[in-house]
Amino acid sequence: MNIIFIGARGAGKSKVSRSLSKKTDFPVVSTDSTAVYEAGGISIPSFVEKYDWKKFRELEYSILQKLENANGIILDCGGGILFDLDESGNEIPSRRKLDILRKIGRIVYLERDLEELIEKVKGDSTRPDLSKVNSYRSILEKRLPVYQEAAHFKLNLSKLTKEEAAERVLDWLGIKSK
């Protein structure tokens, strides 16, 4: 069994993944870190600047394909994992990526209040610009319902520590902490 974390950037996916890993000994696989590795060490902002978002979404898809037969991992997904781009460059829900994620494991949506998410990522130079046209708020407003629909389990982190969140995921899955 695999545990998959989805949600917006800044939701806490990486922190909860690491906390859960300590409680289960499942290794954490980050789609973003794997993308950097697969791209030869180039950062995601540099990759997007050099190639574009469409090429990055294809890289994410190839990473998911490689993980199809994984077992006993925690998958920490980048905020855009559930999306592809249409011919005009607009974000659209990615059925192909969701199908693979559902095959890989149980999807946990880590949610936070919209304003909290916006505040958390403000001015973070390690994250690439999502769009030259749309604000992060408008992108989030379109993405949040897609996260909701994709999830097997939803967990609001606004009032939980990463340890409490990890325990709730374990309880939901019926797994005992080590």
Arch. (CATH architecture) of 3-173: 3-Layer(aba) Sandwich (3.40)
* Per-position b or e across 42-81, b if 16+ CB within 10 A of its CB: bebeebbeeeebeebbebbbebbeebeeeeebbbbbbbbb
Specify the DSSP element, H or E, that contains 21. helix 13-24
Structure tokens at 67: 């993980």
Residue 139 has what pLDDT? 85
- What's the pLDDT score for residue 125? 56
| pLDDT-above-90 percentage for the chain | 77
Determine the pLDDT at residue 77: 98
Binding site: residue ranges? Answer: 10-15, 32, 57, 79, 127, 143
What pLDDT score does 119 carry? 79
Higher pLDDT pick, 134 / 122: 122
Residues annotated in a binding site for substrate: 32, 57, 79, 143
**126 pLDDT above the threshold of 70:** no
pLDDT on residue 113 = 87
pLDDT at 37 over 80: yes
Does 138 score more than 60 pLDDT? yes
Q: Residue ranges for the binding site for ATP?
A: 10-15, 127
pLDDT at position 129 over 90: no
What are the domain boundaries of the chain? 3-173
Question: pLDDT tens, 53-82?
Answer: 999 999 999 999 999 999 999 999 999 999
Task: Reply yes or no on whether the pLDDT at 133 is more than 50.
Answer: no
Question: E strands within 37-82?
Answer: 74-76
pTM of the model: 0.91
